[in-house]
Amino acid sequence: MPSVFFDSNVLLYAAADEGKKRARVEALIRANGTISVQVLSEIASVARRKMRMDWDETVEFVAAFRNWLHVIPLTEQIHDDGIRLARRYQLSVYDGMIVAAAIDADCTVLYSEDMQNGMIVDSKLRIQNPFLS
């Protein structure tokens, strides 16, 4: 199985009541994968702002992803690559950082619900919506 990277928008279904998407995300997490510190930050932000978790719940929620998945830092090189990728592929800056982190981690698949399904980035990484079959 190819090494995979998760966008925050996919992982947040782990806390959703929607059974089908939640089950899919849980299965993908069990198969392992990688995320970046930025993904953890996005999850924490959504947990506080949209899910209205208190600080203790937020810390526990984020810690679960840290335990389940490999986490890589956001380095200056990833940042520079993220800007380049955002510009080249017309991504948001934040999506560019996620794509750059996935490539840096030698992942071949990036699971994202928001980015263009099927897009190949730098002949190395395929964006895939895990909910489309």
* Tens-place pLDDT, residues 64-107: 999 999 999 999 999 999 999 999 999 999 999 999 999 999 99
Position 16 pLDDT exceeds 90: no
**pTM of the model as a whole:** 0.92
- What six digits make up the tokens of 109? 């698949």
Of all helices (H) and strands (E), which one includes residue 121? Answer: strand 120-121
45: left (phi over 0), alpha (psi -120 to 50) or beta: alpha
- The CATH code for residues 4-128 is 3.40.50.1010
- Domain limits, the chain: 4-128
Position 18 pLDDT exceeds 90: no
pLDDT band, very low/low/confident/very high, at 2 (cuts 50, 70, 90): low
User: By the 8 A CB rule, do 10 and 115 touch?
Assistant: no
Strand 125-128 to 120-121 pairing: antiparallel
Place of tokens 């947990």: 47
Mean pLDDT of the chain: 94
